[in-house]
Structure 1
Amino acid sequence: MIRSLNSLRTAVLSFVLLPLLLLMAAVVALGLREFQVQMENRMQEDIELVARSIRLPVSSAMLQDDVPGVQQSLDSLFQIEEVFGVYVYDAEGRMVAASGPPSPTLQRRGEARVISETGSLGAFGEHQGRETFSFFLPLSDPAGRIVGLLQVTRDVTPFRAFVTQLQWQGGLLMLAVSALFLLVVLFGYHRAVGRHVSRLMAAMRAIGDGQRGLRAPEDGPAELRGLAVSMNRMMERREASEAELEAQRHEQVRLEEKLRHSEKLAAIGQLAAGVAHELGTPLGIIAGRVQRAIRRLPEADPARKEMEALQAELERVETIVRQLLDFARRNPLQERPLDLAQLVGDLVERVRARHAPDAIRFQVDGEALVVAADRLRLGQALENLLENAAQAAAGEVRVHWRAEADRVTLVVADDGPTAGRGIDDEQAARLFEPFFTTKPTGEGTGLGLAVVQVALEDHRGTVALDRSVPGETRFVVHLPLATDEPQETRL
């Protein structure tokens, strides 16, 4: 309720329409009052003119004591519609003749004498419930002596009724005009201002309720358009600031997660290096003695077969130790310009040699590109990807790369039975964690992809699993292209 009373529409009505209507009412009231005064003056002038028109005949008849003549003059005047009554008094105030009802004004004889001595006079009175106006005109002889008094009376009740009716009509007209003005002002306010203000307020309420991306309508009068434009700019700056803060929060979370991951990798790397160092020497001694024992035992000896199985397991352990060392080793990079096509070709041949040549087909496609990298570390990372793809493939491994701006995108894809769908979202999120593997127990250490990620991060690159292409499991690698500037040694 208070809000509606303090609204812009109420202010327009209170400070524009109401003063205008009050001014109009005052003008109309003054006009009616002036009209009434002018009409009264006109009525008095008419009665005075009527009285003066018979003054001389009545004065002559009074000087000759011709009462019938006086009465005849009065009767002729009484025929006029506006005349209510005509009366003649002598110098002593006695009524000489009358035409019409008894005098409504003079009730005592002394009044006529007083009026005669003071000159002409007009006065309002009341007679039998009707309002009258009387004009008194002294009668004199040629010498100027007062010989009597003439009174002409008019009934002003119809005039008063006419004025009252006019006032009522003026009041009703004023109400009608006020109502019309109110409708015009309300309609004009709604069309010119109100609807635009309503839309602007609705937009502001929606924005206040938390809606994002909403903008105030930029229409209506120039002032409202300017307000909407300013508000929209403020909202754009606010949303840009919120987006920037949100991006900073995400970046902070990402950096914190990366820091925790780096600390975790560092701790695991130290542990792995220690374990690999402690296991390396005993394993080397055991492997040497097993080889000597195999050479000394005959081919048909059952103990030889046991030693060969023991040698295979020792080689598997040595592979695990080597992977631990690869993961823990963070030696400074020796970056050199490398022909990516030649590097990938060499790695493919090496992986192909470890599998049946006819079992897995390798498709290699890519343009001639040069990257700045440590051949050993980058080759180790790409070889792990190729080996994983060869192990998972049903029959084909595809390797292709292309340049994008200042980076190289390299994809290693296989057509394995699960083709990427066998890795769920939780497994995909942990795929690059050390010691996490999707392979059966005893077939994987969970260090291969961890080594890939560490090596590519050291090369300012990234690696990610892509399951968006049906029928393929894809690992996408991004690396920076080589520049003409000399590369600094990086840790």
Structure 2
Amino acid sequence: MRLRNLIIATVLTPLFLVLLVVSLVAIVSLEDNLRTKLQSEVQVLSQAIGTSLGYALTQEAPREALQESLHAAFSFHRIYGAYVFDTRGNKIYGLGLGETLFDPEEIRAVADSGEELGAYRRHERWSYYSALVPLTTPGGEPRGVLQVNRLNTGVENYIGFLSLVVLGGFVIAAVGIVALIWWGFRRHIERPLERLLEVMERVGGGERQRRASLEGPDEYRRLSLALNGMLDALAAKDADIEARRRKEIALERRLRKSKKLAELGVLAAGVAHELGAPLSVIDGQAQRLERRATDEDEQRRLTRIRGEVARIVGIVRQLMDLGRRHNLEVAPCRLDDLVQGALALVEGGDGIEVRLPEPPPTLRADEQQLTQVLTNLLQNARQASPEGRVRLSARVIDAELCLRVEDDGPGIPDEHQGRVFDPFFTTKPAGQGSGLGLAMAHRIVSDHGGSITLGDTDLGGAAFEVTLPLDNETRPMGQEA
């Protein structure tokens, strides 16, 4: 059952029934009091003049005495008729209206019994209360009957009509009160509850940003504020859980990549050990032949052989650096000095757009290794957009430094974005890149307790974001990510 119907059924209906019963009892009591008062007045009047009329009937000329006594009776208010009958029911003398209210048989019965008779009677358009009082001599001998007629008052005449009017008014008022309560309940209680219920259903359905409107009475505004506060707290908790989940996922990815790099470093160390001696022999023999060669083409081919050997040695060394633990030489370094050192090592670094916060922050890090990271990222951006825009920007967010390197080049295809930090993966033509630069940058940033991600840029190309903590004092040197 709905709340409003429950209130009407359990509160208003019993209340209205009690009020109706009380009203009807009050009306009946009023009617009884009026009738009792009317009867008492008629009885008192009849007894007051009955003695004088009984004495007058014993006189030789009773008519004059009766006339005088009846005229005295009319001095009482609302006495509209007074008649004297003999014991056989014949009128002796009378004044006013209502002579025929009683039959002669009723009059004779009163004379014979000696008991009074009172009744409500209608005559023509009037309503009376009429009483028959036996008239006796002082010795108790019956001489006649007195009839006194008193006209009902307006309230007495319309007591039944007033009862119907009161009942009808009560019903109309009850219906109006119920309708008013229903409207007020609907507007001020049910609708705010429905709005709160709708918000809760939508939040339960997935609309986590839905909030209750602060409308209605104070209680509902407080309830809406409490509900919104609870939803905000839940949203903050969900956001915190999601942020932790993402951090855990990122940490797990870094751990897997670090493990992969460590395994690769072990493999690279073994490969370097096995290839070191043959490569040294090849390089030495090529160098000896190069000194003896007299033909330029032969010297050029031998020089190329030595260059490729040096390239193989460099790749092996990078693999070994990628897999081994790094001892970080942590020291305070200014961001602007770090950026200037990287720009000096990049071809075309003068044309790179730089946006640094003022004043530039200072972080504790291995300046040489972070310079290598920035140099690698800027060099890749310049190679992706030789004549275009390359932008380096930085900002501080929650005690972390965020560095972004962006370009307006062709970008990195979606199918390659998940592999850009894998060793030996490169989009450059064969012979122009080893595919170890970004993997090495990822390892260095992880060693500093930070992260490096690939994102979007408004320039239209690729964007790499490096996030580093500004305070590295509590991180042990050389700890693997």
TM, length-normalised to structure 2: 0.74
Amino acid at match of 1:260: R
SS in 2 for 1:139: strand
Which whole-Å CA distance do the structure 1 matches of 2:155 and 2:387 have between them? 120
**How do 1:332-351 residues align onto structure 2 when only pairs under 5 Å count?**
332-335=327-330
CA change 1:275–1:148 in 2 (3 A) is: same
CA change 1:64–1:40 in 2 (3 A) is: same
The equivalent of 1:177 in structure 2 is 173
The equivalent of 2:449 in structure 1 is 460
CA change 1:421–1:293 in 2 (3 A) is: same
CA change 1:105–1:263 in 2 (3 A) is: farther
Amino acid at match of 2:422: E
Q: Which digits, 9 at most, give the CA deviation of each residue in 1:142-174, with x for residues without a partner?
A: 444333333457898x99873322222222222
Shift of 1:314: 2.5
Residue ranges of structure 1 left out of the alignment (5+ in a row): 353-359
Q: Is residue 273 from structure 1 mapped to residue 250 from structure 2 by the alignment?
A: no
2:134 aligned to which of 129, 135, 138: 138
1:22 aligned to which of 17, 20, 24: 17
Q: How many residues matched?
A: 465
The equivalent of 1:324 in structure 2 is 319
**How do 1:19-418 residues align onto structure 2 when only pairs under 5 Å count?**
19-45=14-40, 47-48=42-43, 55=50, 59=54, 62-63=57-58, 88-90=85-87, 94-97=88-91, 100-101=99-100, 103-104=102-103, 106=105, 112-114=111-113, 116=114, 118=115, 120-123=116-119, 134-151=130-147, 162-189=158-185, 193-299=189-295, 303-335=298-330, 360=348, 362-363=350-351, 372-374=364-366, 377-378=369-370, 380-385=372-377, 387-389=379-381, 391-395=383-387, 404=396
Which whole-Å CA distance do the structure 2 matches of 1:370 and 1:108 have between them? 129
2:425 aligned to which of 409, 424, 436: 436
Amino acid at match of 1:237: A
SS in 2 for 1:95: coil
The equivalent of 2:413 in structure 1 is 424
Which whole-Å CA distance do the structure 2 matches of 1:152 and 1:137 have between them? 8
The equivalent of 2:478 in structure 1 is 490
Which whole-Å CA distance do the structure 2 matches of 1:304 and 1:482 have between them? 54
Amino acid at match of 2:416: Q
Which whole-Å CA distance do the structure 2 matches of 1:154 and 1:346 have between them? 127
Amino acid at match of 1:248: R
Which whole-Å CA distance do the structure 2 matches of 1:460 and 1:185 have between them? 66
Q: Which digits, 9 at most, give the CA deviation of each residue in 1:392-433, with x for residues without a partner?
A: 45258978677858776666666xxxx333322343332222
Q: Is the 8 A contact 1:413 1:474 kept in 2?
A: yes
The equivalent of 1:357 in structure 2 is none
Q: Is the 8 A contact 1:280 1:321 kept in 2?
A: no
Which whole-Å CA distance do the structure 1 matches of 2:342 and 2:150 have between them? 134
Shift of 1:480: 5.8
Which whole-Å CA distance do the structure 1 matches of 2:342 and 2:42 have between them? 134
Q: Is the 8 A contact 2:81 2:149 kept in 1?
A: yes
Amino acid at match of 2:31: Q
Which whole-Å CA distance do the structure 2 matches of 1:343 and 1:235 have between them? 45
Which range moved further: 404-413 or 272-281?
Answer: 404-413
Which whole-Å CA distance do the structure 1 matches of 2:86 and 2:451 have between them? 132
Which whole-Å CA distance do the structure 2 matches of 1:248 and 1:34 have between them? 80
Percent identical pairs in the alignment equals 31
RMSD, aligned α-carbons: 4.8
SS in 1 for 2:314: helix
Which range moved further: 253-262 or 422-431?
Answer: 422-431
Amino acid at match of 2:89: M
Q: Which digits, 9 at most, give the CA deviation of each residue in 1:77-134, with x for residues without a partner?
A: 9xx99879967352xxx434489558448469666422x1x4x342468999x99865
Which whole-Å CA distance do the structure 2 matches of 1:40 and 1:196 have between them? 55
**How do 1:445-456 residues align onto structure 2 when only pairs under 5 Å count?**
445-456=434-445
Q: Is the 8 A contact 1:74 1:87 kept in 2?
A: no
Amino acid at match of 1:394: P
Shift of 1:451: 1.2
Shift of 1:224: 3.5
Q: Which digits, 9 at most, give the CA deviation of each residue in 1:181-223, with x for residues without a partner?
A: 3344345545654554444444444444443233334454444
Residue ranges of structure 2 left out of the alignment (5+ in a row): none
Q: Which digits, 9 at most, give the CA deviation of each residue in 1:464-487, with x for residues without a partner?
A: 45652527766555556689x799
CA change 1:163–1:104 in 2 (3 A) is: farther
CA change 1:247–1:448 in 2 (3 A) is: closer
CA change 1:236–1:51 in 2 (3 A) is: same
Shift of 1:458: 1.8
Q: Is the 8 A contact 1:339 1:368 kept in 2?
A: yes
SS in 1 for 2:158: helix
Which whole-Å CA distance do the structure 2 matches of 1:89 and 1:465 have between them? 131
Which whole-Å CA distance do the structure 2 matches of 1:176 and 1:368 have between them? 82
Q: Is the 8 A contact 1:362 1:396 kept in 2?
A: no
Amino acid at match of 1:324: L
